[in-house]
Structure 1
Amino acid sequence: MAFRTDLDLDLEERCRLLDEWVETRREIAALEAKASGLLVQRLRVREADASEHPFHRDAIHRSMIAEYAAAGRVSTGSVEYAFTDARTVSRSLPATRAAFEAGAISVGHVREIVRASVIVSDAIDDGTVAPETMGLFEAAVLVVAERETAARTKAHARQVAATLAGVSLLARQRRAMEERSVQVRSVGDGLSLLTAVLPEWVAEGIADRLTRMAHQIARTRDERAPHLPSHDDREQSRDLHDFTPDDAQYEAYFTGGVIFGESGTFTTDPHAGLLRDPMTDPASPDIAHLDADTDIDTRTIDQIRADVLADLLLAATPSPENGTGLENITARIQVTIAATTLVGADDRPAHLDGHGPLAPEIARRLAGHHTGWTRLFLDPTGLVTETDTYTPTEPMRRFLRARDQHCRFPGCRTPTHRCDIDHTHDHARGGRTRTDNLSHLCRRHHALKHPDITDTHRWTAHQRPDGTITWTSPLGRTYTDPPPRRVMFT
């Protein structure tokens, strides 16, 4: 006779809640598909109204959008997107519609598929690819969408679209380059929003360099003494004789910065930023940098990134207050390009790993300025099987970066350069240091399988020779994460 323990009952309850949550999510996706279908029906009504009153077509459309936005308590922009997605799915993406109605993909997946499908649609309209290409696009994308997150689906869908409609895509990217810009908008309370529209590879490089600098500053802030500008620097120094009491700059420089003694003697307060004007000198110690009572740097990573961005734009190099060692940090991105494209034999798009297609001329320029790069060998399915390099530098790490592209926990998109390389089977327990026992994990997911976590909460992982990792949760459920494949059509 079998006895049921409290642990068995607790495990059953956790499994029941998980199963119900997953089923509810599927039902929500199916209801979202139903809502999308209702929007398609409403579009038919709008077309009938516009046919009857052609001169008021725009007003009819605006009125429809406004009414749905008001009734749904959502923005008009969101309603516009919802109608556009519904129309595109209904007209051009039947397989996506079927998966949506079955609850196999969410509204987030549909949104990313629709956005990427525009590239293929434009190529069909231009006559550069056949109409049936859209069906091939859907089939290739849904294989990933039905088992991955919307974020991973986005990168895959863009890669598929670039492969199928490369010429049209490159034309779109080159036209879009003309839209790069910088704008400033006040958001109140003394803050402004600085927006830069840049090529994707440039923006990713900027974000990477700022993040690495911010982490360097955070790591070393306890080791740094406060930076005080030299009083001997006559170019930057100020003297009482330089100003008269009625000078507008007198108070800005000396109020709170001078300690007066007897008989007209005085000295400067080294913590008052006397020798620099905080309103005009980007290298001056910012009040946000230091805790008012302890002079300890208490900034968050986001705040440090913002401060370093300002330093780099205003002064070309980070100010001394941020510490040393930052000038040697350069931006990192990972690009994959076919050998034939690299030598100029064709103009197929390259791939900005983890993001999407990249114009071949940009990839060639990046390769020309880089001292070392890696050659990848793919199997017929597009899986990286081997790599060599023109320079003898960490071949196993290069292989893993090329294979994994991001954290290998299911659904995670953290890029490899922000991950740790982990032994799937712990090295301390006999795990070998070889590529089929190594993978990239971000700190958050690396910690899930750490030995110091109790068995009731610890995850385990098993890696197959092809790089596929099967994760087992504390509930005994398994989740498989195959290595990302490069998109190839033969």
Structure 2
Amino acid sequence: MTALLDATDSQMAMLADLVAGLQAAEETISGMQAVRDGILAMASQLAIDIAQGAEHPDYGDMATRAVAAEIGAAQRVSDRTIEQRMAAASRLVTDLPAVWAAQGAGRITAAHARVIVEAGAHLDDPVDRAAYAAAVLVVAEVESPNRLRRDARRIAEEYQSRSLTERHRDAREQRRVWVTDLDDGMSALGVHGPSTLIHGMYDRLSQMAHRIRDERARTANAQPQEQQQDGDAGDSTDERTVDQLRTDLLSDLVLTGAPTGHDSADALLGAIQARVEVTVPVLTLMGGGTDRDDSTPAELDGRCPIDVATARRLAGAATGWDRVLTHPISGAMLAVDRYRPSDHLRRHLRARDQRCRFPTCGLAARMCDIDHNHPASEGGSTCDDNLAHFCRRHHMMKHHSPWRVAQAAGGVLEWRSPTGSIYIDRPPRQNTVRFEPAARFEPAARFEPAAPNPVPF
């Protein structure tokens, strides 16, 4: 039966109204996003104006960080994310005002605007940018963002004053690797690099995966029928897909391979091993290890949970552990020691903080600086009540911007923003088992004797 063929006239009219309503809502959302971009661009310009007025030698970098931190703390968003949004909004509003106006009018969406800005990022001449915007908007108003991307690149190429070779040389400077944490103890590793290398890496992994799969099939077919029926077929029991094989091969190459193209004469890089920090409750380690395990999950680098079986394997292979002692009821950290001694204070702070202690920042503590909140030069003591982890970005901002921090008992930090707003950052909750106290009778209401009122004479 053909879909919607039996719909009544009233049902089709309702569908038409829904489509029109969604279209109107989308136009409103696009307009509001354009308003947000305008405000973010103004915030970026304000930071630059402040820096220029004071003749800052960093050309507004620290002022922009401080402004982004103010906005991010208020919105509970990482200031790095806000700074990226400010930069993107400035490019849209300042460099391509016609595109911003089209988004504000609801003729294109924010996704269209991002595609247009990215494709025209290397157009330096204002006249060329205006011509590019006029040409690409004709396509953007009738095509989806996905289809627009290819056309936008082609249109932008017509107005490029620099060759693709020159632009590629600059783009190579932006190559990077990043991690995105996902659900169920999984994460994604992203690589941004030259197309020839990325596609070459993928092709080599694919060839390896297919070679393993073909060899597996050949071995299985070569086994006698009796062994195949008995399940003794050697590598034929490997049922990994090509995608799974590609992932396993990449993991093996990165974790165990020696980077000969970049190694020193003494092959020092080949001796470096991967390092992660796992927090796992001792009762979880003592569990049965079955596939269906209800133990408290372990935690990787204070960022994401990992499965108990993996945590137990890592714990069994570790040469030394940091032991974090926690309160059995509240779960608060009490102390840290180690079976193999090392710097006690650093261990304590790393276990307490787990990450950068600026609000919204999640960079792991092992990648951060340990800094005095009350400067040592002014008599600040070197103890856990005056030290905390800050990533280099927020460490610098703490010293070179109006942001100020004070530390209270228990590692609680009170940040005061340039506008006077207060943001409290508490140490992350420890990944531990907590024992709830037995339920006890509580009266419905508690009466306290009132203080006697003085009687006037």
TM class, shorter-length: 0.3 to 0.5
TM score, norm. by length of structure 2:
0.43
TM-score, structure 1 length as denominator?
A: 0.40
